[in-house]
Chain A
Amino acid sequence: MSQHAEPHSREAELHIVSPKVYVAVALSLLALTAATCAISYIDLGVFNAVVALAIAVIKASLVVLFFMHMKYSSRLIKLTAFAGLFVFLTLISMTMADYISRAWGRW
């Protein structure tokens, strides 16, 4: 009974985000795109991919947090999104565990 006592939980509420926030996010996305282009002209050695990916991650986070309203969602929705992230990190980290240790030879 307890979980159904309040039929309208928080995510059912409409959260109104002011246009200012959207414009600010859009502008920062454009600025970050410009940064990616600009940095591509500078050779950072091994950090080329690192910097490009870091900027891409920041941009994706902005989209998810503000445009997709994750910042204003209930904890259940946040957990759901985090589950996807967790699985992705598992895939990358455990695959990398193989790649990194492949050259170590036998134990």
Chain B
Amino acid sequence: MSSATIVNLPDPSTARIPKMNFLTRENGLLSWLLTGDHKRIATLYLISITFFFFIGGALAGLIRLELLTPQSDLMAADTYNKVFTMHGLIMIFLFLVPSVPATIGNFVIPMMVGAKDLALPKINLLSWYLYILAGGVMIYTMMVGGVDTGWTFTAPLSTHYLNTNVISAGLAVFIAGFSSIFTGLNFIVTIHKMRCPGMTWFRLPLFVWANYAASILMVLGTPVLAITLVLVILERTIHIGVFDPAYGGDPLLFQHLFWFYSHPAVYIMILPGMGVISEVISTFSRKRVFGYTAVAFSSVAIAVFGFFVWAHHMFIMGISNYAALVFSLLTMLVAVPSAIKIFNWAFTLYKGSITFETPMLYAIGFMGLFTIGGMTGIFLGATGTDIHLTETYFVVAHFHFVMVGGMLMAFLAGIHFWWPKWTGRMYPEKISQFAAVVTYIGFNLTFFPQFILGMLGMPRRYAAYPPQFQVLNVFSTAGATVLGVGYLLPVLYLTWSLRYGAIAGSNPWQATGLEWQTQSPPLTENFTEIPIMDHEAYDYEWLERQQAKEVASV
């Protein structure tokens, strides 16, 4: 194992950022707001989702502060309900779902397949505007008093009992759903139609496969959520009697429809993150991803299985025992493709020349935390243990391990990995490695105690709790402050690096993807000539020959 680094930067005394690139091509606000360039839209998305991440993060901070003491003393109980609902809605629909696909995916997928742009640039821009509209409606919801149904809008609570702003919150999610459908549609068309010569399906980087699988889920699943939310709104306004038993409806039907989208939505959130991890693990261990085909197909398998497991969210809700048995069994099947990925990444590391740059630290963090998150999912997917654990903090800890420990780690890994490509400058390595470690420690301190709290029986969604749970809750709140520092640091040093970072050159990581074979930041058209893919993905020997040739020609 080498302690050296693979970073390969141009001579700083002569290095320059290319004068002509997608950032400098045009100036002025309108050139951004009316752009069709996937890289600029990705930049717009990155700024917007970071904004909403910090709103959602502030709400999370409020939740943890309230739970510092057993009494409900920082805020009233119904304010607490609104705070955790808004935290969930913002983090899921305005951060996690668009996080990797709409920012990193938007930025790199056209380059990875060797295309000039996504297939439908105007639809891509429209998806950003819809996202902003959804964000606006969500902020409006928050300003006029919020909503307290929980992010699941569970009927008949949402249709019958509550006087909060269910309609505007539902509308925001409805609009955000269309933004996500358009992103997914764009990726599917691009990956099918715009691959460069020689780019066969099995030469695509695994990041593209993962986003393709997630896109299928977005396009096929999200309409069900949209219809369900429209039905909730109609139920509230004109009492059509679909979900509300008072009008002859069935509240369980709501849960069936809602989770039919929202379980696959979990895979919409995690699959693109897994794609990032494949790229990062391969690059920083200098090896082709072990079992490329298996990893590629496991993404598709997760997408397909994802549609058959939704009722595991409803085991205690009164569904049939027989259905629960079948759904429990099917849930166990999802563990197979997830495990394929984890094992194959581990085998990629085996005998690789591993270096520990920041993206790699985040990726290794992902592997550990996602594994814990996934394994605890087995507890919840088994009908017996689920009866004890469901609606407790065990569930909260489980999905935060997958979503925050998994997806957010992957997002940060990806942002650091492609930052040199995006801006043409390196982030500062030492402080970012420090931030990655701080995030990992803070994360475990925050969420691991919640597993124990859940096992002990502390229910979720209450502002107050019995005093014997306080010690673990104090640990968790303390961890949240550490985690907050871990997330604030990247914002600071990445902003700093925009001006003061070292010039990155076109391929600082010596990675093999087509996106690294063009200048940083790339031209608006991505490539000066259409690339021809004449080697397999992650072929580091090809890269070596390429570089030898370049030196010889100089």
Question: Within 8 Å CB of A18, what residues of B?
Answer: none
B142 touches A (CB below 8 Å): no
Question: Within 8 Å CB of A16, what residues of B?
Answer: none
Interface of A is mostly: helix
Question: Within 8 Å CB of B308, what residues of A?
Answer: 90, 94
The answer to whether B216 touches A83, judged by C-beta atoms less than 8 angstroms apart, is yes
Beyond A87-B220, A94-B311, whether A101 also contacts B197 by CB under 8 A is no
The answer to whether A104 touches B307, judged by C-beta atoms less than 8 angstroms apart, is no
Question: Within 8 Å CB of B326, what residues of A?
Answer: 97
The answer, among B197, B257, B310, B320, for a CB contact under 8 Å with A1, is: B197
Question: Within 8 Å CB of B311, what residues of A?
Answer: 94, 98
Question: Within 8 Å CB of B197, what residues of A?
Answer: 1, 4
The answer to whether A90 touches B307, judged by C-beta atoms less than 8 angstroms apart, is yes
Q: How many chain B residues touch A (Cβ–Cβ < 8 Å)? A: 26
A24 touches B (CB below 8 Å): no
Beyond A1-B198, A107-B325, whether A102 also contacts B320 by CB under 8 A is yes
Question: Within 8 Å CB of A99, what residues of B?
Answer: 320
The answer to whether A95 touches B321, judged by C-beta atoms less than 8 angstroms apart, is no
Determine the residue in chain A with the shortest Cβ distance to B188: A80
A42 touches B (CB below 8 Å): no
The answer to whether A3 touches B200, judged by C-beta atoms less than 8 angstroms apart, is yes
The answer to whether A87 touches B307, judged by C-beta atoms less than 8 angstroms apart, is yes
Kindly provide the distance from the CB of A79 to the nearest chain B CB, expressed in whole angstroms: 11
The answer to whether B320 touches A98, judged by C-beta atoms less than 8 angstroms apart, is yes
Question: Within 8 Å CB of A76, what residues of B?
Answer: 192
Question: Within 8 Å CB of B486, what residues of A?
Answer: none
The answer, among A2, A83, A97, for a CB contact under 8 Å with B220, is: A83
The answer, among A4, A95, A106, for a CB contact under 8 Å with B256, is: A95
Determine the residue in chain B with the shortest Cβ distance to A107: B321
Question: Within 8 Å CB of A98, what residues of B?
Answer: 252, 256, 311, 319-320, 323
The answer to whether A101 touches B323, judged by C-beta atoms less than 8 angstroms apart, is yes
Beyond A4-B195, A4-B197, A83-B220, whether A91 also contacts B322 by CB under 8 A is no
A19 touches B (CB below 8 Å): no
Question: Within 8 Å CB of A45, what residues of B?
Answer: none
Question: Within 8 Å CB of B489, what residues of A?
Answer: none
The answer to whether B195 touches A91, judged by C-beta atoms less than 8 angstroms apart, is no
Chain B residues with a Cβ under 8 A of chain A: 192, 195, 197-198, 200, 216, 220-221, 224, 252-253, 256-257, 260, 307-308, 310-311, 318-323, 325-326
Question: What are 13 A-B interface contacts by the 8 Å CB criterion?
Answer: A3-B195, A4-B195, A84-B220, A87-B307, A94-B310, A94-B311, A94-B323, A95-B253, A97-B320, A98-B256, A101-B322, A105-B321, A107-B322
